[in-house]
Amino acid sequence: MKTAIEIKDVTKKFGEKTAVNNLSLNIIEGELFGLLGINGAGKTTLIRMISGLLEPTTGEISVCGFSVARQPEKVKKIMNLSTQETAVAPNLKVKENLELMGGLYGLAGEVLSKNVEWVIKEFRLEEVLCERAKNLSGGWQRRLSIAMALVSRPQVLFLDEPTLGLDVIARRQLHETIKRLKRSMTIVLTTHYLEEAEALCDRIGIMSRGCLKAVGSPGELQMLAEADNFEDAFVRLAGGEDYEQ
């Protein structure tokens, strides 16, 4: 099995605060890896370092064999990031948003058309294709925002809290879309929803106070913590006694 993301002894400090503390992790090509932890655990900081948006204080990160620090342009060509915030151009129509993002990644002509048609089908956007993004519901806007991150057909996709703020139905629909994407690319998902991590992820890394406390499948983590269910396993491994979904 090939390694898609390699993280070696990475630390990130903001002044006196340590957001990520000497973290090492390998993520396998084609897996859906979840980063799970309470707010402030360091998940988003780690994702931003892997994607090149933040520079580690110490340590090394590589994506598909390319150094994030020394080969950022090569990394940017093979990855994309969907942030916690919904990012769409409100006055553009759905298809125009997709074409705009593809153009920013240098896509044109037949390649752009094929990629746009692919994400339209994958995210089932046909019924809102001619709507302006600002007129869409929150769930549809979130779906469009993630679709825009996929129009470049990245090898590695980062989903940072993809269902944050969505209602139950919109969250379930997005879960089905994410499941369809599994195996076609490497996906790293951050979440603080336990049921989301358990349902979607091949492996999960539990973070607490900037440290990686444990890594494994939901079943393996449950066994490691000697817990009857995944929620109890998380609480024991992360020390999240105050955790609330």
Sequence-separated (6 or more) residues with CB below 8 Å from residue 78: 63, 64, 66, 154, 155, 156
Name the more confident of 126 and 169.
Answer: 126
DSSP state of 194: H
Do residues 121 and 153 lie in contact, with contact meaning Cβ atoms separated by under 8 Å?
Answer: no
pLDDT at residue number 240: 58
Query: Cα separation of 40 and 163, whole Å?
Result: 18
> Given a cut of 50, is residue 244 above it in pLDDT?
no
pLDDT of residue 69: 95
Domains and CATH numbers, the chain: 30-48+78-238 (3.40.50.300)
Which has more pLDDT, 4 or 177? 4
What angle do helix axes 109-122 and 138-150 make, rounded to 10 degrees?
A: 140
Name residue 92's amino acid: L
Do the bridges between strand 58-63 and strand 3-14 make them parallel or antiparallel, or are there none, so unpaired?
A: antiparallel
What average pLDDT does the segment 41-49 reach?
Answer: 92
Q: Is the pLDDT of residue 60 over 50?
A: yes
Share of the chain above pLDDT 90, in %: 70
Tens of pLDDT, residue by residue over 103-160, are: 998 999 999 999 999 999 988 899 999 999 999 988 889 889 999 999 999 999 999 8
Per-residue pLDDT for 179 more than 60? yes
